[in-house]
A and B are shown apart, each in its own frame.
Chain A
Amino acid sequence: MIEVQNLTKRYGAVPAVDNISFTAHPGQVTGFLGPNGAGKTTTMRMLTGYMPPTSGRALVAGYDVFEQSLEVRKRVGYLPENVPLYRDMTALGYLMYMGEIRGIPNRRDKAYEVLEQVKLADRANSRIRTLSKGMRQRVGLAQALLHDPEVLILDEPTIGLDPLQVLELRQLVRELGKNHTVLFSTHILSEAEQVCDSVVIIHRGTIVAQGSPSELRSTLERGGRVFVRTNAPAETALPRLQELAQVAQAETGLDGVIITPADPNADPRPAIARAVIENGWDLIELRPLAVNLEEIFLELTRAPETAAEAEPTPESEVVA
């Protein structure tokens, strides 16, 4: 369980993380999603006790990350973004060292067990410098799993892996999510959609949306923007679509026309479809804009004044 309440981190006057609140539940993978520099790593560093928050608080496994840092550290497994390892040690030696600092009693058995879990047991005695990027990532993950932590915090674990390794790692994270609290950061939206039970979207240090991937999608489908593609050239189609009473604004984008509805609670699609037919064009595509997380993300991180329009329901908390 991770509970974050009004957490803020400032570097000087610059807020890296600004007043964020969210909860990650046990038995779930919570995706922490945002572009590079959104504040994901800073948040994770605060949750692992590496860095103290400027204000606000966070409870990890029931302990305050600032007041009871050592208790938190005993219960958290952390894989930092760049997977720092001692390159001159063997995979096994590294895990034994980490286990000794953590005071794990039967650390040799435990080290083999986690190496087995990340499918690296055959390279246990290889020096880390000789391992591939994907293998090093798995050594880092093994380190995070070594002490059976309640909470796993993985900072962009799939970055720099080849496609096959990415698939394996996602599979592993999903399995781990069944009996741990997993907080998993990524800037790849499709990844969050595949791996996570719930998603927190962070942008410029603030949370712009949170919920399950399907909740977020349905939220945005209602009253969100609509994408339409016809065989007519955009210059002809735009003014005609703009004339419709149900349309607040029509603009070109994504190889078609993006339409902002005049009334967020009414679906403009029937009117658009009629207009296309009446004008004698062929309708090729007509759908809500936000059908995948990429587009949900585009919707949520639009300029603040327009993003506010895409905020129809309370369960997706939009702070932008």
Chain B
Amino acid sequence: MSAIFAVFKRELALYFRSPIAYAVAFAMLLFLGILFNGNLAQSVAFNVSVAQQGGGGVTASDLNLAPALITFLMFLIGPLLTMRLLAEESREGTIEVLMTLPMNEAQFIIGKFLAVWSYYTVLLLLTVVYHLILTLVGVPDAGVAFGAYLGAWLYGGAVLAVCMVWSAVTEDQIVAAFLSAATVLVLYLAEVAAVSLTSSPTLANAAGFVRELGLQAHFGATLANGIIRAEDIAYFVLMMIGALFITTRIVETRRWRA
């Protein structure tokens, strides 16, 4: 337990000293800020026109703007935050010392994962400021916002775990980043693939399955709108556990091959 905490503490501290982590935070907040501002201006204009006709309040679609955009950006955020995590330890050889300490691979991987997930959580919490701005101009639905943030948090954890697999596979951070980005995009676009499968006469039955494999099927229509379903939470949690298990196995077999 103390080993997990030791690894976690060091890694999390590293994120707050790493230029990449700040660059990711900066780019993300800039992107979100511009879109949010545009969206808010539009909504305000819309609300004004609605108010003139006797209506009022902020539309529901504004509430999940930040979390939904973050899930879209995960194909960049995930690889950038995780590529260093294990690849660097292998390349520098520091893993050789770590693996001769009284700590098993799973503790090491879990400590690293919790650190990157925590950093991601901080990023996500920074965007809560947009929700606070919304409360100044209207009465947003707190339930929808909560669902969307919970979803984005779990979604992010699942993506980060998947990206860690690639960081364990290769010593090259750039290779790890590209493979991670490709994997996350495939999982993100599974819904699109499912749609094209539906039109195929032979593979139509597989469409539903492919759709359910994708990340957005468990976020876009449900959690993002405040609908919390056990199956969606189970999907993200299982994906995290599965990816971390594979990562642990890869780090273990590395020793057998090395």
Is there an interface contact between B101 and A50, defined as CB atoms closer than 8 Å? no
Contact (Cβ within 8 A) A84 B94: yes
Residues of chain A within 8 A of B10, CB atoms compared: 97
Q: Is the CB of B96 within 8 A of A84?
A: yes
Within 8 A of A (CB), among B218-258: 255-256, 258
Question: Closest A-chain residue to B3, C-beta based?
Answer: A101
Whether A102 and B97, one on each chain, are in contact in the complex, defined by CB atoms closer than 8 angstroms, is no
**Does any Cβ of A come within 8 Å of B54's Cβ?**
no
Q: How many residues of B contact A (CB 8 A)?
A: 25
Q: Mark B80-103, 1 if CB is under 8 A from A, else 0.
A: 000000000000111111111111
B7 proximal to A (CB < 8 A): yes
Give the complex CA separation of A80 and B96 in angstroms: 8
Among A68-76, A112-120, A196-204, A262-270, the stretch in contact with B: A68-76
Question: Are A73 and B97 closer than 8 Å at their CB atoms?
Answer: no
Docked-complex contact B6 and A49, CB < 8 angstroms: no
Contact of B99 among A50, A74, A87, A98 (CB under 8 A): A50
Complex Cα gap A276–B180 (Å) = 77
Which residues of chain A are within 8 angstroms of B7 by Cβ–Cβ distance?
Answer: 101
Chain A residues in 8 Å Cβ range of B99: 49-50
- Cβ-based interface call for B104 (8 A): yes
Judging by beta carbons under 8 Å apart, are B101 and A100 in contact? no
User: For B9, what are the chain A residues with a Cβ–Cβ distance below 8 Å?
Assistant: 100
A49 to B104, CA, bound (A): 11
* In the complex, A281 has a CB within 8 A of chain B: no
A85 partner residues in chain B, CB cutoff 8 A: 94
B199 at interface, CB cutoff 8 A: no
Cβ contact of B6, chosen from A82, A86, A101, A143, cutoff 8 A = A101
The reply to whether B6 and A52 form a contact with Cβ atoms under 8 Å apart is no
* Chain A nearest CB, measured from B248 CB (Å): 15
Is the C-beta of A78 less than 8 angstroms from some C-beta in chain B?
yes
Tell me which of B5, B95, B97, B102 contacts A143 (CB under 8 A): B97
Among B7, B9, B94, B100, the one with the most A-chain Cβ atoms within 10 Å of its Cβ is B100
Total A-B residue contacts, Cβ distance less than 8 Å: 63
Cβ–Cβ contact A86 & B2, under 8 A: no
A48 touches B100 (CB 8 A): yes
A51-B103 contact given A86-B94, A97-B10, A100-B6, CB 8 Å threshold: no
Instruction: Give every chain A residue within 8 A of B5 (Cβ-Cβ).
Output: 100
The contact of A97 among B6, B93, B255, by CB within 8 Å, is B6
Give bound CA distance, A50 to B104, whole Å: 11
Contacts of A74 in B (CB 8 A): 102
| Interchain CB contact under 8 A, A70 and B2 | no
Known A70-B102, A73-B101, A78-B100; judge A51-B255 contact (CB<8 A).
yes
Chain A 53-96 interface residues, beta-carbon cutoff 8 Å to B: 70, 73-74, 76, 78, 80, 82, 84-88
A160 at the interface (CB under 8 A from B): no
Residue-wise, chain A 26-63 has the 8 Å CB interface mask toward B (1 for contact) of 00000000000000000001001111100000000000
A103 within 8 A of B: yes
CB distance from B100 to the nearest CB of A (A): 4
User: Roughly how many angstroms separate A73 CA and B105 CA in the complex, as a whole number?
Assistant: 13
Closest 6 CB pairs of A and B: A84-B93, A100-B6, A48-B100, A84-B94, A73-B102, A101-B6
Instruction: Contacts A80-B93, A80-B96 known; list 12 others, CB within 8 Å.
Output: A48-B100, A51-B256, A51-B258, A52-B255, A70-B102, A74-B102, A84-B93, A84-B94, A85-B94, A97-B6, A97-B10, A103-B3
Interface residues of A (CB under 8 A from B): 45, 48-52, 70, 73-74, 76, 78, 80, 82, 84-88, 97-98, 100-103, 143
